[in-house]
Structure 1
Amino acid sequence: MSKHDMTLMAHLLRRAGFGATPDELEIYVARGYEAMAEELLNPGTDHAMPDDIIRRYHVDQSELRQLDSAGAYWLYRMFTTQCPLQEKIALFWHGLFATGYTKLNQARALLNQIDMFRRLGLGRFDTLLLELSKDPAMLLWLDNQDNHKGAINENYGRELLELFSMGIGNYSEDDVKEAARAFTGWTLKNAEYMAVRASKDSIWPYGRINWHFEFREDDHDDSEKTFLGESGQFNGEQIIDIIARQEATARFISTRLFQFFAADEIDADGEPVVEAMMQSYFDSGYEIRAVLRTLFNSDYFKSEQARYARVKGPVELLVGGIRLAGSYRRPTLGANQLAFQTFFMGQGLLVPPTVEGWHEGMEWIDSGALVERINFVAKELGDVSKPGIRDLIIRLDSDNNGPISPEQLVDQCLELVGHLEVDAETRDALIEYAAQEGELNLQGHQPGDVAEVRVGNVLRMIASTREYQLA
């Protein structure tokens, strides 16, 4: 396996997932880049930690009404999933279609929305928009239950166009109003008591946990509307059909996907890739999977230019560090604190600051958030008792038959954490740190001894580098 192949696969797994362990990378490289990209884009049955196991240890994750429990539940899925792009695309849509606990006061409804993103997030964009428009969490978040025939509420119609599909400058105020009229009568209600529903969906069949979509025909404005230059007796489904076929929609979605999976900023070399993604959007019938396939297989994405061109979001950083360290492979007390940790880093799961979502890229980094980011990951990677770190130490020992020079220690540790490439100045600083105690000899090492702690300290320093904070 060539160094180039390992580095390229590590890059793909950081973007389309949350990174990979050395063992995983070797398996993936053996399959080949294109085949692995296709496998990621077509996830099968996930084998994440089962719900019954989680609930056996975390009673609070049975009903999932509380924010920290719901956040920890999703994090367990990210830590243990074998379909990383399925969770990564759900995280993308959560940021784009930002819906928050602060208004709903009901986390289970938000997790239902996340599950919808898992199921539909790589499929057709128009299908996803339609299900989003019927989603109880979104209906409440943007007040469509208050959108009535003869008394419209424009919140959902406006954000559907501005933030979810087309972007400012591609529609008029009249289009907003016409969209709102088309979505009148799209509302929600609590479930009536039914034995099947009660046993399947809710321990409180009359409670808010069982919100579901309802269309009220008598509250729907079925008169003629003119929307984006087309006229007819449009309902919400037809509005979405019109939106999905707009060039502005293809550009908006392709741009946002590029920024999340490729680079925070789109330069002259990135623009042709966005154009190709737009063409794939139309050629495939609006399929997100096809758009991402074009991106992942592009020369730009595979180039050195695209590496470390994104700041890792807090959730990406936290999940990647925990997966590498091997933490939380089993239900663990205190897992709910991880949901708070993402909040301290600036990205509280299920708590976007506004309907606009989080401001990403360099805005993830400020003095407070950076300290939280570095401290958390450094603690994970520096803990030689963690099963994943123990695996790295054993591999480091097996790859060396004798003393390890500071240069070898740094270079091999950089490979172990995902074939990380740091600049010359950073590498020199890491080597200088590793050289303080001379050569390292792992022969006969014991759990937690001085030799292992030295490895942990180098990994801790790597976690604080600029490149580790990037993807």
Structure 2
Amino acid sequence: MDESAAVAHVLRRTTFGPFPGRVEEFAGRGGGDVIDTVLGAKALEPATPVFDEDEDAAASGPVGRWLKAMADPAAGVHEKLVWFWHGHFTSSHDKVDTWELMWQQHTLLRKHAMGNFRELAQAVTVDGAMLQWLDGAGSVADAPNENHGRELMELFTVGRGIYTQQDVKAAAVALSGWNVDDHGAVSFDPDSGNRRAVELLGRQVISARDVVDVLCDRPETARFIAAKLHLFLVGQAASEQRLGELAAVFTQARLEIRPLVEAILRHPSFLEARYTRPRYPVEWVTAALAVCGITDVAKAFETMTGLGQSPFYPPNVAGWPPGNRWIAPGTSVARAALAVEAPVIAEIADASDPVEAVFRRAAIYDPTPETRTAARDLAFALRREPRQAASALLALAITAPEFTLA
């Protein structure tokens, strides 16, 4: 693989870029060095947002603060993992009462994104936004709501197939007693919570902490999380042998997330598996806006939403599904529209070779013959209209497979 193409591949998978000029900063360095850099990048700390329930896309609001962090060239794997965990431990502002609660959960995910999975699961299980999202707030031991316990097992830890309805009931009993007041404060009420031991997956539990410990101790949890992270970072499902290796790494590290992520990124399959999954809308929009020179947060949020993905608004408790639905042909027009009147059109039009200029800006260092020929034909056909040619080339680049895939 060409060195620049390898660098671009790593940055596509581990950040929300690569942003214009970023690949060139790694000149003379291979994919391994870039992996070192993104793993070692300092975790970003967005400023506290302005909480306005009527302004979803304000630059100073929660969405704006997060999108700015995603678009920061200094962001590394940590920022990408914040996004991953938001799609795993989901909560949506559509149901959660306030932006304050959503931001508290975001801060929690940010704190633990590359930390310990058990600690993350413990914290998010009694997080205010999660308690509201999964109907855990107000659940009482005598008549518990089962939703929280079921999703904690099925979607967050062990996955399907090993627990029974009786386990769901036991988890619900042990998770009861938590409340979220009108100000977003979380508290535990011993009078409505559980006081007796119940059996969950063959072990006795009383409290929410006990439930999470039982689930995190199960070998299925290590496999479930390893499989999901591998799919996200490598773009394809791990083989049974590879999954066993990763689960062992995760277990031996006592569910520390960083060793698992590092094991995935440093395996040869990571560099080999190019263009194996779509760039999901949040990833694609963040990169495409940078290529076009657009910094408007409202435009970013509008475009992401139009493509079916909005931070803080997962469609359901399972999060956003993987798969090729995200690159359906019908999305091409909406994607290409970003190139119309983009601020960088003049720069591309003035370049000695507009095709190479737009490819470089979009970090396309390994265009297919088809993409390169289409770009050259377009440039030739519009050679007497440099600005129009630049806009068309920009649209072609950000809708090309080499840009829409990761």
TM over 0.5: yes
Equivalent pairs counted in the alignment come to: 402
1:350 match = 312
Q: Is the 8 A contact 1:314 1:345 kept in 2?
A: yes
Q: Post-superposition shift, 1:32?
A: 5.1
- Tell me the TM-score normalised to structure 2 length: 0.89
CA separation in 1, counterparts of 2:403 and 2:75?
23
1:218 match = 191
Is 1:4 aligned to 2:2, yes or no? yes
Amino acid at match of 2:154: E
Residue of 191, 214, 221 corresponding to 1:242: 214
Q: Is the 8 A contact 2:138 2:177 kept in 1?
A: no
Q: Is the 8 A contact 1:420 1:468 kept in 2?
A: no
1:205 match = none
2:226 match = 254
Residue of 355, 368, 391 corresponding to 1:423: 368
Amino acid at match of 1:323: A
Q: Is the 8 A contact 1:463 1:469 kept in 2?
A: yes
Q: Post-superposition shift, 1:393?
A: 7.3
Amino acid at match of 1:129: A
Alignment root-mean-square deviation, CA: 2.6
**What is the 5 A alignment of 1:133-212?**
133-190=125-182, 208=183, 211-212=184-185
Distance 1:261 1:73, change over 3 A: same
Q: Post-superposition shift, 1:315?
A: 0.6
Distance 1:42 1:188, change over 3 A: farther
Q: Deviations over 1:59-82 (max 9, x none)?
A: xx6224343333233212222362
**What is the 5 A alignment of 1:42-191?**
42-44=40-42, 46=44, 62-66=50-54, 67-69=56-58, 70-80=62-72, 82-190=74-182
| Structure 1: runs of 5+ lacking an equivalent | 52-60, 191-207, 398-403, 441-449
Amino acid at match of 1:15: R
CA separation in 2, counterparts of 1:266 and 1:45?
28
Residue of 282, 288, 297 corresponding to 1:321: 288
Q: Is the 8 A contact 1:273 1:300 kept in 2?
A: no
- Secondary structure of 1:218's counterpart equals coil
Amino acid at match of 1:350: F
CA separation in 1, counterparts of 2:401 and 2:228?
24
Q: Is the 8 A contact 2:362 2:398 kept in 1?
A: no
1:275 match = 244
| Structure 2: runs of 5+ lacking an equivalent | none
Amino acid at match of 1:96: H
CA separation in 2, counterparts of 1:64 and 1:131?
26
Q: Is the 8 A contact 2:364 2:402 kept in 1?
A: no
Q: Post-superposition shift, 1:151?
A: 1.2
CA separation in 1, counterparts of 2:71 and 2:53?
21
- Secondary structure of 1:214's counterpart equals strand
Distance 1:368 1:33, change over 3 A: closer
Residue of 375, 384, 399 corresponding to 2:344: 384
Q: Post-superposition shift, 1:37?
A: 2.1
CA separation in 2, counterparts of 1:215 and 1:84?
37
Q: Deviations over 1:171-191 (max 9, x none)?
A: 11111111111111222235x
- Secondary structure of 1:226's counterpart equals strand
Q: Percent identity?
A: 27
Q: Deviations over 1:204-259 (max 9, x none)?
A: xxxx3xx13212222221212211122x2432112212211222111111111122
Select the structure of larger CA radius of gyration: 1
1:54 match = none
CA separation in 1, counterparts of 2:162 and 2:372?
47
Q: Deviations over 1:292-332 (max 9, x none)?
A: 111111111111xx11101111111111112333432xxx5
Residue of 227, 232, 235 corresponding to 2:200: 227
Q: Is the 8 A contact 2:136 2:147 kept in 1?
A: yes
Q: Is the 8 A contact 1:120 1:128 kept in 2?
A: yes
Residue of 35, 38, 41 corresponding to 2:36: 38
1:307 match = 274
Amino acid at match of 2:403: Y
Q: Post-superposition shift, 1:272?
A: 3.7
Farther off after superposition, 29-38 or 100-109: 29-38
CA separation in 1, counterparts of 2:396 and 2:205?
62
Farther off after superposition, 422-431 or 89-98: 422-431
CA separation in 2, counterparts of 1:451 and 1:393?
5
